[in-house]
A and B are shown apart, each in its own frame.
Chain A
């Protein structure tokens, strides 16, 4: 029973290319998140969205943008990829309802290499 899917497991791009990472969840969750994970740094929040067309910057938004046109889909965009954006990218989603204990579900991750 797949809950959060990401468009690619592995991606190789060249410096300067525009890169789209897609995330889809089937749980009707309001909240969706994009993280990057690097050795020694753990997971860091890039952007999150708490509703359609709504977005908020996380801790490291520079060089990234996002799009949420439909509730189930949250896209991460690298306008001009750079080598320091080589990383594992993880998408997650979470429900709302005033319950701060809601579980967060993660996608399988996309390992992006920028050459």
Chain B
């Protein structure tokens, strides 16, 4: 079993829909990251959180430390949100442990 599990692995939705991607982890962590990877490979950091909730534009990330679970929400989804979303946790000082990613496709 992977230390970081994401669901769903693939998600297709219509423009405007509310999107939720989930991440569960099995290790103690100091921080959790949500990353976005567009076709072509480059990865950008969306959020870094250790408790509670963060919001940036149409994106919201929440984390429940007791349940070892985090969610990434996208409101009013748009085709440009189509990407792979990756959850990663930092359990030690140096290394990140990554989930397998969720491929999101938003159709116009």
Contacts and interface: CB of A to CB of B under 8 A. Distances in A.
Interface residues of A, number: 25
A84 interface: no
In this complex, the interface size class of chain B, counting residues with CB under 8 Å from chain A, is 20 to 34
A42 B50 contact: no
B81 to A, nearest CB: 19
A42 B41 contact: no
Nearest to A94: B94
Contacts of B50: 101
A31 interface: yes
Given A104-B45, A104-B96, A108-B41, 7 more contacts: A9-B41, A50-B94, A58-B95, A103-B45, A103-B48, A109-B41, A109-B42
16 contacts: A41-B100, A42-B99, A42-B101, A43-B96, A45-B96, A50-B94, A56-B94, A58-B95, A92-B43, A100-B30, A100-B93, A101-B30, A106-B45, A107-B42, A108-B41, A108-B42
